[in-house]
Structures are given as structure tokens and as C-alpha cells.
Structure 1
Amino acid sequence: MINICITSRLSCLPIVIAHKKGYFEEFDTDVTLHVITHHKAILALLEAGRIEAGEIPSIAYLQESFLKKSKLKRVYKGLMLYRSPMSFYSRFRFRQEDISRNKGYFIPVPHYNSVERLLAEKFLEEYAPKTPIKVRFMDTPSFLEEKEFLKPSCLGIASDQLLSPFLKNYHDFKDDVNLPLINTEEFLPSTLLAFSGECIQKMGRDASGVLLAVKKAIDFINESSLNANSKGWDDLNLSQYFPHLRTADLKNLIFSNPLIKRGVYSYDGNSDNLAPLLKDSYFRVIRRVLDADAIRPLLDFSEILESLEPKKLFDVRKLSSFQEGGAKQQHTPSLINYRKLNAVRHLIVDLNSVALDILQGKFQSRLNTDETLLLDNRVKVLVNAMIDSFNATLELQREEIAELENLISILEIKLDRSAVDLQYSEEKYRYLFEFSREAIALVDADTGNILEGNHQFRNLTGYTRGDLTKLTIEDIIISEQIAPQLKFGTDLSQDTMLSLPDIDILLKDGSTIGVDLSFASILLSPKKRYQVQFRPNLDRKEQERLQHEFISNVSHELRSPMTNIRGYLEFFKTDTALPYTTEHKNMLEVIDKNAKRLSFLIENMLKLTTSREKDEKDDVVEIFDPVPVIEDVIHMNSHLAKGKSIEWELSLKKGLFIRGIRFEFSQIVTNLYVNALKYTLKGKVSIILSENANHIDLTVKDTGIGIDPNFKNQIFDRFFRIPSADNKRIGGTGLGLSIVKSLVEKMGGEIFVESKLGEGSTFRVVIPKVVTSS
């Protein structure tokens, strides 16, 4: 069994790919992967022989190679994993003079002995050579990197946008600073795969299997980056190894990054690129300068790569790279000072052993204690107490996790029940759809294809189920207004409701039939559909014809007697010889108002009939100023406001001209103005005529009872009146707004309404403006 430890940085992607793709098993190697937060822990486990292999920084490997250690405690290089085109990033573009000498800064790095730390150190020396900067390098796990980077005292970070994707939103000094250190196109050896001494001594053939699998994984990554349609990633779930990355789809992040195509994943590394960083630098433990000639053989992978070329297992111990295992010249650590006291030395060894156990998940490991009160025993007791407290907290978290798992199980059961209920609902819906009395068809909102038609629809049109699958809704509707209004394939985020009366549809036998269409948008699965209802309109047209014929006859029959009534009434009002008392005059006034109201209703019904029949022989179309017409309407109907506390606001711009019939325009104004007076007991009524680009806006606004939003779309229907106590008290026929809408559309305009229940209504009529030559 080969235990390999990695961090959650993308630099270890080849090892993860080899594990996920089964390359280790392909080379008869049994491997387990463990994710550890920090490179320091991996180095400690390698040195102690607790793991067989791991991902470590290249610079940390160089330091290990120069230390005097036995072969069992040495760290042996395997393959290069990642090469970085590193740059320096910050939250802002700071200049040399912006840096305070008295302020302390810090820079996050994955390991103190890493390429990132060396580059950040050299960058600050070259960018601000005359300004000594107090900088502390902080070893930071990858999942805390962004959090530390955003702290105010963080000066910046040395990395690239693949290892740290969040950096694409911040300042890259490579864009505006001319420093050879960061403007070079060369890649710096970042991390490599290393083996422990015990693994090399005891598991030589298994180590070669690991090398072959990782090399194959690197080849797979580089080949996939050149082929955007590669399907080799479809079966991989990488999120468990890189949970800190914000990108939802890790594969998209990898494919979209140009660094992959440039070959950042490579099993070979050029150590000469490190020379500018290692110049005049020494490590804090060995206190030695590392020049290019000293490190070149340590990062030379040519012998290992040549031995891997046959792609067969072999004993790596036969290679000189695994026989020497370090630099030719070894150095004694100068800062490690072991105490001579046996008790302290044993305590350190025991603590180190327990720490390594915990790193490997053995949380029950403890220090051996006795009954003495010696200092080392006290420390052991305190350490054991600390571990017990840690385990108690961990146990509580495990219990919480168990409760969450139980809750998830319950939710899964409920989800299964919901799925069953959903299936029952779908079957019920399908039954209601198929045997509905209405002819209904389902249409794809993207393409307009007919997906399905129920039994009534198939009987109406004569099409079979097989015929419908080959048709679109536009194939059977004889009209050019369907596609522009529905906008198939666009604007799918909004709901659509559309009614189209008097549409002819094509039947299977070639004949046509008139229907009324009703479109309603519905959402089935992730796609939008239209539910279309087809209602034959022959009976409706016949009913409307009889209804309008009746209204026309009644209106004409009422018109003659009303003319006589108003004529005699006017005679009585103007005859000064008659001895009228005040009471008589009031009675005549009431008769006159009701006669006018009755005449107005008769004219509305007649206008409805003539509009329906399009009888315009006596109408004269002319260009006129609407202001005099509006003023006449206001003067003739102002008596309706008597006894009410109503204020008027008139704002009529003169000199504007429209095209139409004066009487029809007066009907528009009259109906809107009379409605405003009727439904406003107290408050304010406004009539505004204004100019807007190529249109004229007529606005009639009141502070009356308002319109119930449930009936807002029905107020322009003929004979419709909102069912309420106020409407019953006020009275009316429900024809006014219907006449207004038809007359406005006849003039080429539009009408809009805004209303709040209890606050009032605003009707706005938009009519094309006519430009006259003076």
C-alpha cells in the first residue's frame, strides 16, 4: 500500500487524475490519497516514514537534500508536478513611496521554503531597492489564502491565476512593472512528487508504478487541454480534493485557463530558472548559499524519465537518483539545538510521535504518564488533556453529523414520497388534458413545434398524433401575427398570455374553420411550453350579431321619442309665461339631467353598433385641435360634479393637431371624463394634454375608488362591469371603456390604465400627432 499525501492546491492535479482514472491500478500499484492542509505536515510525515509519497515544494526538497540524514530519513525526488509562470499580485497598485517603513506587512506563502516566498522576497528587493520593508512570510493553507490576502496588512501574494483563481480580479504587477524577474516567459519549478526513504528501500517496484501513473496523468492533462471536446473528464468528480475553489464546475476552470495549454503540468523541470531567486539567498536552517551548479543535479529528472519510457515496472533502487538521494555536499543544521536532558529528549520524541499519529487520523494516541510530579510528566498530562478536549469536541461534531445524516435520510424519504405524488399528479394532469372539453395543444416555446394535442383538438382538426409531431403552430394558423407576438425562441424568461380572436386554422382536409385562440405559458421540466386553446367562434359570432342587431333596433326606437321629450322639455324651460315655482324649476332640472343621461346612453349604444358594423358613411375625417373639443366636453358634463367636493386640474397645450372624427374624439373624452366624475366622490380630477415626440398624450386622472387589479384586464370588454356595491349604486352599461378602446385604436392610438384600489385611476391615451405647415 502506497500512502500519498497532497494539499488542496491544483498543483497536485496529476496525482488526483491518476487516482481517479485508475492509472495506479493499471500499473499494479495500490494507492490511497490523503488531503492535508499544509506542506509542512507532508514533509514531517515523509521524514518519519509515516507515508510513502507526497507533494512538496521544490525549494523545500532542495533544503532537505543538503541536510545530513540517513537514507531512511531522506526525501527522494520522483517527478516534477507543476511549473508556475509566477507574478506578484496585490489588492491595489502600490508604489515605492506608498509603503510605510514603520508598518509591518505579511505575505501568505504555501511554505516558507517555496518558490512563492523567494519570488515575493526578490520582487520587493528589486521593486523598492532603497526602501527596507518589514515583511513577515506566513505559511498559509490554500483554503485560507484568499481570506489572508484580503486583510489590510497583507502586502500582496506571489502566485498565478490557476493555483489562486481569485487573483484574476486584482492587480498583476506584470502588466505595468518592467522587472525581468516577473516579466520572463519561463516557468519556475513549483512542486514535485517525493518519496520517503523507507518507501524507496522497501517498495522499489511500487514506487515505479506511482511514477508511471503520474506521468501518464500529466500526458492526459496536456492532451485534453488541446482538445476542447475531450470526454475523458466526464466521469471525474474532483470537488472532494479541491473543495475551497469557488468555481462550481472545476473542469470548466481547468479547460478555460490558458496556462494548461502552455504546459504548467510537466514531469520535467529546468532548475536554471531558479538561479535569479537563489542568488544571495540562504536557508535559515542550513545557512548556505545555493548556486545553480549545486542545485542542477538535484532537479535533473532525465535518468528517471528515461527509465519510465518502456512503461513497465522496475526497481527504482537501481537508479543513481534513488541511491544517492541528496546533494553531494551535506551541511549540519546550525539552528537545531537538542537538549542533553534525557527526559526532555524523550518528551520531544513522544510528542512528535503523537503529532504524527493525529496527522494520520489516529486521534486516540496518548502520551505515557506516571504518578510523578516531574515537569515532563506535567506536560504529558496537559497534552493528554488537550487531546481529550479535542476528541470530545470532535465527538460532538460527529453526533451532529449523525443527526444531519438522519435528517437527510428523512428528507430523502419525503423526496421519494414527493416523487410518487408528482408522478400521480402528472398522470392526473395527462388525464384531464386528454379528455378536456376544450381543444388544447401543447407547443414548444423555442421552436413553435406542436408537441401534443388532446382528443378534442384531434377531432376538431382531423390530425392524428403522428401528424402533429411533424407540424408547427404556424403551419395550421392562417395568420402572420402569431410568430411576432409570441417571439418563439426569445424572451423565454417572461410569462406570456395572449388572446387572439377570429383566427382561421387549417384542417387536415384542406378546409378552414374560425376559432378564438388563447395562449398561456407553462413550465414543464426545464423548458417553457405554450398551452393553446382552440374555441370555434361560429356560435359566438352569431350571438354577437343578434345582440348588436337587438341593440341597434332598440337604440333607434328610443332615439325618436327622446328627441320629442327633450324638445318639449326645452320649450317648458324657456317659456317665461308659465308660473314656475322654485320647486317646479328643480323638478325640470332633474328631468333635464336624466334626459341627457338617457340620450348619452342611447348614443353610446348606437355608436357601439355603428363601430361594429363599420358604418362610417356620414363621418368626416379631418385634422383638428383637440383642445376646443375637450373644453366643450368639460362644459357640457360639469353638472355631474354638483354636490361633490372635487377639484379640477386642467393643463391643455394648444396648437397640437390630430387626425380623426371630432365626434368620435369627443366620445373618447366624454366617457373618460364622465367616468372620472362618477367614481370620484371627493378629491381631484385632472385632464392633461401634452406633446411627447411624435405623439399626443391625453391623460385623465382621478382620486376615486380605483379598479380592482383582478378585473384590470376585463374593463375594456363590452358590457363588463366590476361586481361591487359601488358600481351597483352608480349604475352604467359597461360600454363606455369598450367604445373608448375601439375609437382610440381606430385613430391609430393606444390606451393605458394604471390604478390602485381606493386611491384612484389614471387613463392615458396616446394618439399620433399631425404636423401642419403654417
Structure 2
Amino acid sequence: MIQICITSRLSSLPVVVAYKKGYFEEFGVKVTLHVNTHHKAIMPLLDAGRVEAGEVPTIAYLQDSFLKKSKLKRIYKGIYLYHSPLSFYSRFQFKPEDLTRNKAYILPVPHQYSVERLFAEKFLEEYAPKNPVKVRYIDTPGFLEEKEFLKPSCLGLVSDPFSSPFLRNFQDFANTLELPILNSKSFFPSTLLAFSGDAVLKTGREISGVLLAVKKAIDLLQNTNQLSTGNLWEDLQLSHFYPHLRVGETKNLLNAHPLIQKGIFSYKGDATTLNPLLKDVYFRLIRRVIQPDAVKAAFDFDEILSALEPKKVFDVRKLSSFQEPTETKLHAPSQINYRKLNAVRHLIVDVNSVVLDILQGNYNSRLNSDETLQLDNRVKVLVNSMLDSFNAKLELQREEITELENLISILEIKLDRSAVDLQYSEEKYRYLFEFSREAIALVDADTGSILEANNQFRSLTSYTRGDITKMNIEDIILGNQVSNQLRFGTDLSSDTMLSLPDVEIMLKDGSKLEVDISFTSILLSPKKRYQVQFRPNSERKEQERLQHEFISNVSHELRSPMTNIRGYLEFFKSDTSLPFNTEHKNMLEVIDKNAKRLSFLIENLLKLTTSREKDKEAEVIEIFDPVPVIEDVIHMNSHLAKGKPIEWDLALKKGFFLRGIKFEFSQIITNLYVNALKYTFKGKIGISIRETNGKIEITVEDTGIGIDPNYKNQIFDRFFRIPSSDNKKIGGTGLGLSIVKSLVDKMSGEIFVESTMGEGSKFTIYFPKVNISV
């Protein structure tokens, strides 16, 4: 198992991509990734052999190369990870004369031995050669960069907009200065993948697999077309490795970022770009004379890259880069016999081991202690207690952070979805409002002022947008029909729906137009609006006139043949000389009852035409038991069920009484029962009667084709028939349920319908219960 230690900076992206894409497994290497906060924690882990590989700053690797170490303690180069187009950024554009030696400035860097540190020193030398300033360079983890950068004492930051995205909002000195260091257009090798000496000695072939996998990931990152279509951020879920970066920000970074296209992720690099920094700064920093050829050898990756070209696993120990370190003469540090050390040195060795464990992520590591009262053991006990307390607080903070991250993620998703839905709803509403076929105006419920009106309203009334914004709804609607119904400025918390037929409105030219108006309230907290629809009623009136005329003509035409039918029927019934048997007589009774029913329907059609005359002809009100009427209806219409596999479920309990006209009640049951028979091809039809909460409940239920829920509120309208192929085959006038609704209302009842497509329908009627003593 190869453990690779990386930072949470985007410079480690090739290693993360190789891990998430499964490239390590492709080359037969099992890898675990450990994310550390800082390069300073990775270097001692590599030096101690606690991890096999890690992301290290290029200059830190160079510094390590010239230290006298054994092969076991040495850090070996592997492959470049990140090249940065460095520049100097600041919160403001300062001038050389603004810098003073009396003030101590800070400048965040990824590592004391990093390209960014050398670049910052070189920049300040070129920018203010005659005015040297005091700058303290602070080793800063990636997630604290922005915080340190925004401090008042921070002079600036050396980085690029990819690894530090927040810098795009601040001053880039390369845009305004003509300094050699800022205009070199060079990409500086920032970090590389390095290996510990212990790993090289033990896992030579696995190391080559790691290098091949990372090289393949860099090739993928350079292919910006794949990134723009693959949506790398969402596919790989990289938030675990870069939690401090915003999701939207990282998407923009990874999707065809121009710096990626220019090659910031590259395993090939030109080390000569470092020469100005090394010549002027680095050698003075380490206070040691080193030959340029030695530096060149440290950054020579040609042998490793040539070995990786066949894309096959090999043993890196055969390469000279992993056999001969940079310095030709090395000597191992003296082998210390720790058994002869005193107690203090034992304590130092143990503490060092625990610190390395914690840097590696093992927060449960503790010092070995016993029950003695010696000073070193008492210190160990106190250190262990401190670590236990620290670990408990850390675990509690982790749980809180996890909960907050989950909550933030949920809130971000909901916020994004709500914003998109809101924008879509607003645009959709505005489009529907403006181009609706109905004339619509939006009115303030507080004052009655017209806020907006759509194109159809402006065409109907000839008012312009400028006219409308200066008008009140009562300026358009004549009379006091609206003010009596709606009181503007009161009761703004409740919904309002109001329909006003035959209302006159004033047009722009002074003429009048008769329309139907409907008000619908829209609650937009804390405001309330009315959406007012205007429909010219001339077409509606003409349709009503033609409808009444048609019904009247049809009814009168049906009366004459029906009179003849009933006359001949009475003749047959009264002629005793005709040889009728019992079955014939039953048939004549059925014909007689249906003829009476048809006559009643004709009378109802005539009543529809004379409803405006408010005919109040006296009718005989009866108190009757509904069960015999229901049984009679079932008997008269039994012939409609012939040939259908239908079962009847009748639960008719006698003893209940209703008030009304018995014949009209029979029309209610007849229409519901006949509909059930017509629309049920097989299954069951049920009729029941019972008492519920002091009312008589009558249900007619079937297992037929059901009612489309889109038309559920229209089935009681006159002449309405659901548009379907089944309805066309079955036929009908669309008056049955309309008559049922009007007769139920006349008997002070209520009717409800439940239906499911393909499963059937259930009509439930509630009538007031009448005691027999009344």
C-alpha cells in the first residue's frame, strides 16, 4: 500500500484525479491519499519514512538534495505536478515610496523554501531597490491564504488566479509594472511529487506505477475539451480534498480554464526559469556555495520521463536518478544507541514519534507511560492528558463541521433550486400574462390602482401603458358594482374570488363596452394584488340565445310525436279485447313509464328556456321513502344491462324519508344509474342508502372507465361531455348530470364525486333527513 500525502491546494489536483479516476489501480498500485494542511508537515513524514510519497515544493526538494543524508533519509524526485505563472498581488496599488522601514510587513508563502518566497524577494528587490523593507514570510496553508491576505499588515501575496481564485478581485502588479520578474511570461515549477528513501528501497515497481498514473492524470487535465464536457467537479466529487473552495468557483476553475490550457499541469518543465531566483536569492538564503551543474542535475527529469514513455510498470531502482543522489559524497549521521540515552532524550524521541503520527493523521497516538513517579513519566502522563483533551475537542468540532457542511450543502441546493424556479416562474408568468388571450389587469388591493395590464387589455380598451399606470380600476368600471363587492385597503390577508357578469367599462374613446369581470387575489407578502380578467359578453349572450332557441324548438317538436305515442299506448292498455299475457303487460308498463320520463325531460328542456321568466308554477311537495323509487328505476332500466357481465351490490334500507317531488328524485337516480350502466362494461354496480350525521347518504358506485381528473369540475355543466373515444361510441346529450345537480340543489342536497381513471366512479348525495311525524 502506497500512502501519498498531499496538501489541500489545487496544485495537488493531478494526484487527486488519478486517485478518483482509478489510474493507480490501472497500473496495479494500491494507494491511499492523506490530505495535510501544509507542506511543512509532509517533509518530516517523508524524511522519517512514514509516508511513501508526497507533494513538496520544488525549492524545498532542492534544499533537501544538498543536505548530507543517508539514502534511507533522502527525498527522491519523481515528477513535476504544478507550474505557476507567478505574479504579485495586493489589496491596493502601493508605490515604492509608500513602503517604510519602520513598519513590519507580513507576506504569506506556501513554504519557507518555495518558489513563491524567492519570487517575492526578487519582486521587492526590483520594485524598491533603494528602499528595502522588513518583511516576515509566514508559512500559510492554502485554506488560510485569503484570511492572511486580507490582514492590514499583509503587503501582498505571490500566486496565480488558479491556485488562489480570490486573487482575481485584487490588484495584479503585472498589469501596471514593467519589471523583468513580472514580464518574463515564465511558468515556474512550483511543486513536484517526491518519494521517501525507504519507499524507493522497498517498492521500486509500485513507485513507477504511481508515476505513470499521475502522468496520465496530467494528460487528462491538459485536455480542456474533456473537462468542459465531462464536468469533472460533479463527476469526481472533489469537495473532500478541497473543502475551502466554493463549489461554483471550482467548477469554473476546472472547466476549460485558460491556465490549464496553457499547461500549468505539466510533467515537463524548464528549470532555467528558476535561475534568476536561485542566483540572486537562494544561494544567499542557504549561505552555501553550490555549483550550477549540481542544481541542473537536481532538476533533470529526462531519465524518469523517458522510462515512463512505454507506459509500463518498471523498477525505478534501476534508474540512476534513484541510485546516485545529487551530492557525490554523502555520509550517514552517526548511529545513536538510544538505549544509552538518558530519560530526557527518551522523552524527546517518543514525543517526536507521536508528532509524526499526528502529522500522518493518527490523532490517537500516545506516549508510553508507566506508574512510576519519575519526571519523564509524569510529563508523559500530562502530555497524554493534553492529547486526549485535544482529540475530544477535535472530534466534537469535526461533528459540528460535518453537520454544518451538510446543512450548508442542503441550503445551497435549495437556494439554487429556488432561485432557478423563481426566475423561471417569473419569466413564465410574465410571458403568460402579457400574451394571454384574456384581457388581464393587475390591481393594487390597497388602493385599487392599476399596476399593469397585458397586451389584450390594451387592445380591448385602447389605453396605453402610460394611461394605465395613472388610472384606478374604478375609473374604468362604471357604477358601484366593484366598490360594493371589494373594499380596497381592508381584509388584505384573505383570498378573494369574485365574478361579476354584465358590467359596463369605459373605453379610451368614451364609448362603453359590456363585459364579464372576474377578480382573483394574489398574495405577495406583504402586498396583495388582484388579477382582473375582462371578457366581452356579446359572444356569450349570442350563444345563450341560440342555445335557448334550439332547446325550445327541439322541445316543441318532440311534444307532438310524444303525445301521439302516449295516446296509442293508452288505447292498447284500455282495449280488453287484445290477447295480452302477463309479460306483454309488463312491457307496456315499462313503455308507459319511459314515455312519462321522456315527457318529463321535454318539460325540463322547456323550463331551461323559460328560466329567465322565473316561472313559479306550484308544485306538489311529497314526503316519501326513496327505496321503492330506487327499486323502480332499477327495474325499468334492467334491459340496458343485458349481455354485460355485471354484478349488483344493493344495500337499500327502508324507513328513511325525503322531502321533494318523487318524480324528480327518480330522475336523479335514473341519470346516475343509467350512466353507471353505460360506462361499465364489466364489473360491479352498487347503490346504497344509509344515515350519516343526521343526513341521508345515497351512493351510486361503479367499476367503469372513470372520469378524467382534468374534467372533474366540468361534468355538471350543461351540454358538457368529456372528449374521448368512449364517449363518442356511447353517445349522449351532456344534460344528465346537469339535471341531477339542479334537482339535488332543489331538494336542498349536496352531491360529490370520486373517480379514478380505469377503476370507476362514485357519486355520493346527501339529503336532509325527514321524520315521518312531520
Q: TM-score, normalised by structure 1?
A: 0.54
| 3-state SS of 2:106 partner | strand
- Distance in structure 2 (CA, Å) of the matches to 1:345 and 1:52: 27
1:739 aligns with 2:526: no
The equivalent residue for 2:483 is: 722
1:106 aligns with 2:106: yes
Which whole-Å deviations, capped at 9, do the CAs of 1:156-211 have from their partners, x for residues lacking one?
01111111111111111111222111210121110000011111111111100000
| CA distance in structure 2 between the aligned counterparts of 1:239 and 1:407, rounded to whole angstroms | 15
- What residue in structure 2 maps to residue 368 of structure 1? 368
Q: 1:375 deviation in Å?
A: 5.0
Give the Cα–Cα distance (whole angstroms) in 1 for the partners of residues 332 and 27 of structure 2. Answer: 39
Deviation at 1:369, TM superposition (A): 3.2
1:464 matched residue in structure 2: none
Q: Which amino acid aligns with 2:149?
A: F
Aligned to 1:296: 296
Q: Deviations over 1:96-138 (max 9, x none)?
A: 1101210000000011100000100111111111112110000
Q: How many matched pairs?
A: 470
**Could you tell me whether the CA contact under 8 Å between 1:63 and 1:283 is conserved in 2?**
no
CA contact (8 A) 2:112 2:138 kept: yes
Secondary structure, aligned partner of 1:32: strand
**3-state DSSP of counterpart to 1:13:** helix
The aligned runs of 1:623-702 (5 Å cut-off) are none
Deviation digits for residues 566-624 of structure 1, max 9, x if unmatched? xxxxxxxxxxxxxxxxxxxxxxxxxxxxxxxxxxxxxxxxxxxxxx9x9xxxxxxxxxx
Distance in 2 (CA, whole Å) between partners of 1:404 and 1:221 is 32
Q: Residues of 2 paired with 1:99 and 1:64: CA distance?
A: 34
- CA distance in 2 between counterparts of 1:697 and 1:240 reads 57
TM-aligned CA deviation for residue 399 of structure 1: 6.2
Are the counterparts in 2 of residues 9 and 163 from structure 1 also a CA contact under 8 Å?
yes
Which residue pairs with 2:609 in the alignment? none
On the 8 A contact 2:224/2:261 being kept in 1, the answer is: no
What residue is the counterpart of 1:386 in the other structure? Answer: 386
Contact 1:5–1:35 at 8 Å: present in 2 too?
A: yes
Q: CA deviation at 1:54?
A: 0.8
- Report the Cα distance in structure 1 between the residues aligned to 2:149 and 2:366, rounded to whole angstroms: 37
Measured after TM superposition, the shift of residue 275 of structure 1 is 1.1
For the structure 1 residues 369 and 299, does the alpha-carbon distance in structure 2 shift closer, same or farther, using more than 3 Å as the test?
same
In 2, Cα distance between the equivalents of 1:362 and 1:388?
13
Gaps of 5+ in 1: 416-444, 447-487, 502-515, 521-531, 535-611, 615-667, 669-693, 701-711, 728-732, 747-774
Secondary structure of 1:182 counterpart: coil
SS at match of 2:29: coil
Q: Say whether the 8 Å CA contact 1:278–1:291 is kept in structure 2.
A: no
Find out whether 1:306 has 2:306 as its counterpart. yes
Separation (CA, whole Å) in 1 of partners of 2:345 and 2:118 = 34
Change (3 A) 1:381 1:230: closer
Matches for 1:16-55 after TM superposition, within 5 Å: 16-55=16-55
User: 1:3-32 CA deviation, whole Å, 9 max, x = no partner?
Assistant: 111111111111111111111111011111
- Please say which of residues 309-318 and 273-282 is displaced more in the overlay: 273-282
1:76 corresponding residue in structure 2 = 76
- Equivalents in 2 of 1:159, 1:127: separation in Å? 17
Q: Which residues of 2 match residues 319-398 of structure 1 at below 5 A? A: 319-328=319-328, 342-370=342-370, 375-397=375-397
- Distance apart, 1:302 and its partner CA: 0.4
Residue 493 of structure 1, CA deviation: 7.3
Instruction: Tell me what 1:253 maps to.
Output: 253
Q: SS of the residue aligned with 1:390?
A: helix
Q: Deviations over 1:35-79 (max 9, x none)?
A: 111001111111111111110000000111111111111111000
| Structure 2 unaligned residues grouped into runs of 5+ | 415-421, 443-453, 489-499, 514-774
Query: Any idea what the Cα deviations from partners look like across 1:279-319, whole Å, max 9, x if unmatched?
Result: 14347995324453221111111000111111111111000
Distance 1:70 1:360, change over 3 A: same
The code of the aligned residue for 1:124 comes to: L
Q: Cα 1:185–1:399, aligned 2, differ >3 Å: closer, same or farther?
A: closer
> 1:33 Cα deviation (Å)?
1.0
* Matches for 1:494-513 after TM superposition, within 5 Å: 494=430, 497=433
Counterpart contact for 2:69–2:332, Cα < 8 Å: no
Shift of 1:263: 0.8
Return the alpha-carbon distance in structure 2 between the equivalents of residues 4 and 211 of structure 1: 12
Indicate if the aligned counterparts of 1:275 and 1:291 stay in contact, CA closer than 8 A. Answer: no
State whether residues 165 and 249 of structure 2, in contact with CA within 8 Å, keep that contact through their aligned partners in structure 1: no
Task: Look up the equivalent residue of 1:81 and give its one-letter code.
Answer: L
Which residue does 1:13 correspond to in 2? 13
Matches within 5 A, 1:449-598: 491-492=427-428, 494=430, 497=433
In 2, distance between residues paired with 1:734 and 1:308? Answer: 86
Task: Call closer, same or farther: CA 1:36–1:743 in 2, change over 3 Å.
Answer: same
Q: Is the 8 A contact 2:227 2:255 kept in 1?
A: no
Moved more, 119-128 or 363-372: 363-372
Contact 1:6 1:55 in 2 (8 A): yes
Residue 489 of structure 1 and its aligned partner are, at CA, apart by 12
Supply the RMSD in Å over aligned alpha carbons.
Answer: 4.4
Q: Distance in 1 between matches of 2:211 and 2:396?
A: 41
Contact 1:90 1:172 in 2 (8 A): yes
**Any residues of structure 2 matched to 1:119-518 within 5 Å, and which?**
119-224=119-224, 228-229=228-229, 235-248=235-248, 250-282=250-282, 287-290=287-290, 292-328=292-328, 342-370=342-370, 375-397=375-397, 491-492=427-428, 494=430, 497=433
Distance verdict in 2 for CA 1:21–1:391, change over 3 Å:
same
**Is the CA contact 1:58–1:190 (under 8 Å) kept in the aligned structure 2?**
yes
TM-superposition CA deviations, 1:320-360 (whole Å, max 9, x none): 11112343366999xxxx9x973333222211111111223
Question: Within 2, Cα distance between the matches of 1:241 and 1:497?
Answer: 48
| Partners of 2:473 and 2:197 in 1: CA distance | 82
Cα distance in 2 for partners of 1:361, 1:209 equals: 25
Q: 1:330 to 1:117 in 2, by over 3 A?
A: farther
CA deviations 1:613-661 (Å, max 9, x no partner) are: x9xxxxxxxxxxxxxxxxxxxxxxxxxxxxxxxxxxxxxxxxxxxxxxx
What is the rounded CA distance, in whole Å, between the counterparts of 1:295 and 1:726 in structure 2?
89
Amino acid at match of 2:476: F
Percent identity for Structure 1 against Structure 2:
58
